[in-house]
């Protein structure tokens, strides 16, 4: 089981200048924000990375605001795989969590290379299907298949959140439901906007 006690959440390179080119970017941001909030609620360690900020910009403002409120500073890297950067590698591996939940962009570049390196380090990567994306469908879907074939677990944001929660009827469960309702509302608003346009 993927639990709050054996997980770490890695937010990979969700940066403002790259997002306009990313498929379903608004839905990606909603899923990422949901998972950040739920990870914080359940005391799951969070690591955030950024790639070449001068060219790709800072973390998306909504996600940056959440990270800043918890005093989490994204780690800048130049390598595509987070594990090839010494600071990122230390931050991700030092908590010694079996499952590393990987969300962000792009699925076929920085996410995929991080996932493959995690497997080399005997960690089990967890890919949240609705919280990763790329510029093209072909790149996204091929990356998901490759990562799963290599040993990563593929799940969804809501499924993961309920796994971390484990039981109903607690104050944490009620708080998680608030975040889930906000996530659902964001998804419905995005779908409505896409229908109109």
- Of 40, 85, 110, 165, which is the active-site residue? 110
Contact 190, 183 (CB under 8 A): no
- Residues linked to residue 124 through DSSP beta bridges, in sequence order: 99
User: How far apart (Å, rounded) are the C-alpha atoms in residues 91 and 72?
Assistant: 11
Is 165 a residue of the active site? no
What is the bridge-based pairing of β-strands 46-51 and 124-133? unpaired
Compute the distance between CA of residue 55 and CA of residue 141 in angstroms, rounded to an integer. Answer: 26
59 in Cβ contact with 18 (< 8 Å) = no
Token output for 173: 């469960």
Residue of 40, 77, 85, 88 with catalytic role: 77
| Alpha carbon distance 157, 127 (integer Å) | 9
For residue 73, the 8-state DSSP code is: P
Determine whether 77 is an active site residue: yes
Query: DSSP assignment, residue 5?
Result: T
- The residue from 13, 85, 117, 130 that is catalytic is 13
**Any idea which residues carry the catalytic annotation?**
13, 77, 110
């Amino acid at each position: 089981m993927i639990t709050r006690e054996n997980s770490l959440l890695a937010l990979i390179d969700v940066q403002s200048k790259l997002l306009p080119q990313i498929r379903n970017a608004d839905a990606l941001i909603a899923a990422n924000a949901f998972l950040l909030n739920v990870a914080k609620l359940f005391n799951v360690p969070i690591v955030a990375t950024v790639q070449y900020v001068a060219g790709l910009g800072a973390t998306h403002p909504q996600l940056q605001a959440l990270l800043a409120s918890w005093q989490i500073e994204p780690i800048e890297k130049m390598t595509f795989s987070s594990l090839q950067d010494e600071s990122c590698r230390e931050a991700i591996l030092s908590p010694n969590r079996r499952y590393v939940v990987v969300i962000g962009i792009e699925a076929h570049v920085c996410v995929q290379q991080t996932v493959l390196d995690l497997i080399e380090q005997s960690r089990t990567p967890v890919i949240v299907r609705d919280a990763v994306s790329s510029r093209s469908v072909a790149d996204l879907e091929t990356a998901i298949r490759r990562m799963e074939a290599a040993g990563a677990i593929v799940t969804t944001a809501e499924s993961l959140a309920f796994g971390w929660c484990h039981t109903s009827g607690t104050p944490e469960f009620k708080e998680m439901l608030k975040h889930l309702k906000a996530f659902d509302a964001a998804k419905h608003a995005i779908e409505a906007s896409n229908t109109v346009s």
